Amino acid sequence: MKLTKLIENIDVARMTADPDMEVTGLVSDSRQVTPGCAFIAVRGYDTDGHRFIPSALERGAAVIIGEEAPEGVPAVIVHDSRLAMAVAAGNLYGNPSRRLHMIGVTGTNGKTTTTNLIKTILETAAGAKVGLIGTNRNMIGDREYPTERTTPDCLELQKLLADMVDAGCGYAVMEVSSHALFLDRVYGIDFDQGIFTNLTEDHLDFHKTMEAYAQAKSRLFKMCRKAIVNIDDEWSKTMLDAAAGEVFTYSAKSDSADLTARDIKLELSSVSFCALMTGKLEKLTLAIPGLFSVYNALAATACAVCAGVPLEKACAAMSRCSGVKGRAEVVPTGTNYTVLIDYAHTPDALENIIDTVKGFAKARTIVLFGCGGDRDPMKRPIMGKIAMDRADYVIVTSDNPRTEKPEAIVENILVGVRQSKKSTPCDVIVDRREAIGHALSIARPGDVVILAGKGHETYQEIDHVKHHFDEREVVAEALYKIQSGLRTDNR
């Protein structure tokens, strides 16, 4: 590709490179440089890519794109290299989002389930081939690919979208994180629909305030043709105010919304309700329990309807949808109690899963949870108090401590535990494997044990190292020890 094509529509300050030169690719990591490619230097929070320009040149970079460059080096100097990378990545792969029906889902909770529901509905009711980008996995049709973060960086994202186009996908549905929006990873993507699920406390280590967090989320609605918004959420006005295109609203409470849930029934293993839209009323059932599932189903149904799927077909397709790994996932144990894995790692999500389980548990609700290190510390005591106020038995343990001391994180949680006025039994076992073994050893017939926080993750991150840790395997190991009469912990 000619350099002039790669930098098309980029705000260039000055240029010392030949615009007609051929470049073989674009990278932002100097270790990935190959002879003839362009290296783009981006200022990050941990390091500045401009420091690695000499290394990129040594490896054969043909041109440097950045906010500065050494004298005498072929370079394109831009005002904002982060925005430049997003635009250049789109140019490199032929701007694939323009050839897909792009659907972005943002919010604190519900993104993963909602995107998976949308994919299933579009495939079932519209016969479409759909690409998926999310926390759990990336998919192109039925093919699955691993993922490292909720929203990939712009180079990986554009490559993935191009692969979807090449594979014949007509739709791409993706989770869009607040970090991705704030850091311009999705800048230049043409979204047909943007969906807002909810906003609760999370990521305040990065955004500092809820207002800033909400403003980051609202960026999606400035770059989509239609905004689909949950008006029951207190932050919905921020999203609606940001909307640059048409608006479609949904609600489980208000008939003023474009799509409303009526006659909600919460069952042991499902939710059902009547979806009301412009005088039409259709019965809908989703085999995932909890009131939060009503909102996820409404969001997915609204998306399908806005994409041209008739309401009755969208509701019928919902019955084909199943749960998502790590979201209210029941682990087969062969015991007379239930073990459930859920990704709940925010106050609202923890409250939702406990309340959902309390609605169908025949005996006690036992919740085991921790909080991630190097993340919003303010939510830790809040989650501790929620667990004590709502569960029947609490086990505080570790999650992904990352670079923090697990004991320090646990002590933050215990601040909230002590604030509770309820005398809920509470054990502290920092080692998560031991804690799970303990939870299963105290479970009685009819109890439900919630393992909260890890969800789909199959690792534990400690001091920058990811150690294999799949809670399904840990449960199986603990049950084997219990059934063999062995200790499950060191207590």
Q: Is the pLDDT of residue 12 over 70?
A: yes
Percent pLDDT > 90 in the chain is 84
pLDDT at residue 122, rounded to an integer? 97
The mean of the pLDDT values for the chain is 94
pLDDT(29) > 90: yes
Structure token digits, residue 318: 């919902």
* Region 426-435 average pLDDT: 98
Bridging pattern class, strands 138-140 and 63-66: unpaired
DSSP result, 323-390: --TTSSEEEP--SSSEEEEE---SHHHHHHHHHHHHTT-SS-EEEEE---TTS-TTHHHHHHHHHHHH
CATH number of 329-483: 3.90.190.20, 3.40.50.300, 3.50.40.10, 3.40.605.10?
3.90.190.20
The answer, yes or no, to whether residue 167 has pLDDT greater than 90, is: yes
Q: What is the C-alpha to C-alpha distance for residues 160 and 103, in angstroms, rounded to an integer? A: 15
May I ask the CATH class of domain 96-318?
A: alpha beta
Please report the pLDDT score of residue 394 as a whole number.
Answer: 98
Strands 246-251 and 224-230: parallel
pLDDT of residue 489: 56
**Predicted confidence (pLDDT) at residue 268 exceeds the cutoff of 80:** no
pLDDT of residue 487: 61
pLDDT at 45 over 90: no
pLDDT, one tens digit per residue, over 210-238 is 999 999 999 999 999 999 999 999 999 99
Please report the pLDDT score of residue 221 as a whole number.
Answer: 98
Taking the chain, what is the end-to-end CA distance rounded to the nearest angstrom?
64
Residues 6+ apart with CB under 8 A from 252: 232, 260, 261, 264, 273, 291, 294, 295, 298
Of the listed ranges 24-33, 59-68, 135-144, 433-442, the one predicted with least confidence: 135-144
CB 450 within 8 A of CB 340: yes
Do residues 448 and 357 lie in contact, with contact meaning Cβ atoms separated by under 8 Å?
yes
For the stretch 452-482, pLDDT in tens is: 999 999 999 999 899 999 999 999 999 999 9
Annotate 294-317 with DSSP letters as a single string. Answer: HHHHHHHHHHHHHTT--HHHHHHH
CATH fold of 3-92 reads: 3.40.1390
pLDDT at 320: 87
Q: What are phi and psi of 183, to 5 degrees?
A: -95, 10
Average pLDDT on 307-319 reads 96
- Pick from 422, 400, 404, 408: nearest CA to 467: 400
247 Cβ neighbours under 8 A, 6+ residues apart: 226, 227, 229, 240
pLDDT band at residue 490 using 50, 70 and 90 as cut-offs: low
Q: Which residues pair with 365 in a beta bridge?
A: 448
| C-alpha triplet 381, 385, 388: angle, nearest 5° | 140
Say if CB 365 and CB 391 are below 8 A apart: yes
Burial of 74 (0-12, 13-18, 19+ CB in 10 A): middle
pLDDT at position 233, please? 96
CB 126 within 8 A of CB 119: no
The residue behind tokens 């993750």 is 457
Instruction: Report strand pairing: 138-140 vs 143-145.
Output: antiparallel
Number of helices (H) and strands (E), helices first, in the chain? 16, 24
Of 401, 423, 490, 403, the C-alpha closest to 413 is 401
Q: 406-442 burial string, b = 16+ CB within 10 Å, else e?
A: beebbebbbebbeebeeeeebbebbebbbbbbbbbee
pLDDT recorded at residue 488: 57
* Residue showing tokens 């999203």: 239
What pLDDT, on the 0 to 100 scale, is given for residue 4?
A: 97
pLDDT at 202 over 90: no
- Evaluate if residue 259 carries a pLDDT over 70: yes
Strand order in the sheet with 448-452: 329-331, 338-342, 448-452, 365-369, 393-396, 426-428
Could you state, in order of their start, the residue ranges of all structural domains in the chain? 3-92, 96-318, 329-483
pLDDT, tens only, 404-417: 999 999 999 999 99
Q: What is the full DSSP assignment across 44-70?
A: -SS-BGGGGHHHHHHTT-SEEEES---
pLDDT tens for 108-156 read: 989 999 999 999 999 999 999 999 999 878 999 989 987 766 678 899 9
